[in-house]
Structure 1
């Protein structure tokens, strides 16, 4: 192939309860995969177009030489659907990402000409070269861990600014060192925790700001687990005058000086995986380093320093019983959690939890489209699958009544800015609409 190929890179949307693609006007929390793939694509080798399907339409009618797709959970199922449509047009398709890397290879190769396993920075240029030479291989696997000390600037300029909300994605670290058996992140990265040079993170923050917003979402899975690194990064962010949010383990609350520094650097919201109020349940998934008896004080401490909390919780773990639903509701409302997200325990293919449940013959389905965090795909131990499914949505409906939204948001720090209050209110109303339509909050 002598001329530059036209490459379409697509981030598929997730699927709703009926298996339909979820669409919305704006992409409020964009991912970084597509801008990074565009950055590592040699400009003289290909013309690249990026599409985030949640807020943009896929240009099926245009000519493309190669299509690349990535997706997590039910987003991978949507990637398969998109891939099938392009392959019917004889357009070669490459699929990668965490979900495709962890599940069985044949699941993806039924729908794609090539599968990329692992992180793509070292592999993607090879895929393009092989495609141009008509020697595309069925499987590409990273032979070494990519050096994240030398990542290029993400192509923020190629993101559709008209379809973006206020937040821009930046990454400081990759992976998480904790051993939670349900977690696809620690499985994918092998419990390695890698930190980018602080000056390069600041460089990316400045580029993200130039794209039109000072509101930054660090897409890290655990931004505060290395306190020395976090302290260096957050100190460097103070002069940038950004507002940021991210995910972090609750152990950050053990260091008040870190919370103070995080706030000074612009942190206003941290998403914390508290998972459950049941210590026995935490032990069943390898997260017994969390202590529910401390949660109330830890949350109070975060808010004392001006940082609000969004929680991630899981229903259906092996020690959970019917009382878990009321306990979860009481915890969220009593602690006035600003943005609570609750997921049904999901044995993601490739994780330790999936292997355990497969060995115990507890899987109900292997349909990747159902692995959204909102559908029961396994046999629980102490309640029926039907009861888990039904009570999950009842719990969500109670949490997101107008009265409870108001009650929960009243717990936000007093010094929170009007924009952040408006943002949190908007997220709650957005999720309320999703719950009515049986869309798992947080999947788009």
Structure 2
């Protein structure tokens, strides 16, 4: 299965739009089709290996990992590689009628694994189930919000977390948040919230853009430091990013001069791009920021074996800039007019063309159940196993970096 299929991730958001988990699945034309035991087993084994390190343990920190399961997988070897407190198996209600399955569920719960119940009607669910599950899938019905609120208010008194599915619009997400539900949002987080407030670059963002232009021109380090000194907070945040686990430095960077001496100008540029995305004074969506980091890093990893190091770093910048308009709340035309990017990066952003465009398009397609992934990967001569491994690596890297945002 792993030799021919592509992984899709869907973020789980808490009411504050923070990413608290992911569900992984194989890409397929019909999302409602029932996956085979073989495919579910292959997914569990692959994810478990990719997200486990013998020294570091689970590589996604405190994130929850949701995986669809069938009774045959409740004793899978791959589960032993995943920490119980971070792992939630999604199991349909129909399986709970079998005594052997129920015994396996009880054993997993005693070990600390989570169980998410699917296919249950909340209003008629027997209370006995609540001792066997940690999460309960629910479907929001906006036309019947008042009665749902009463039911969910009762459930809040239990330890079971409610998880909303198919949340397709921001008003629906807000309704779920008001009820205290966590939500799987599909591609909703890529859709900007409607706003009538005028958006402009603030002082910090203007300073960062100035620094990016200076770095692009290899300005003298003393000139860079003079600009950074205008905003002590920016300097502090920049050094935090550079020293984050995501960069893998052996010694701590103490100053901007030290950073340039150790890394050079090109890596510094990418961290300024990241800093620009988080410098909004009007607030930004944590899930959108994390998505931008994953997109940039995935595009970079995919390009590392195809081009030079500096070109691959440009792919990271292209990935970040592809969501910068939504992160900053301003049109892409204004973003691009604020700074001079390499022509190949601009071409990728505007038309997904040129050298970088296909890599950026592939990274984007991995965020959705897009049937374009296969053709894009084939055109770049990237195999499914390599793409899936890069996807997991980018997710781990982004989690480390986002944690210092």
Greater relative CO (CA pairs within 8 A, separation 6+) = 2
TM > 0.5: no
Query: Which has the larger Rg?
Result: 2
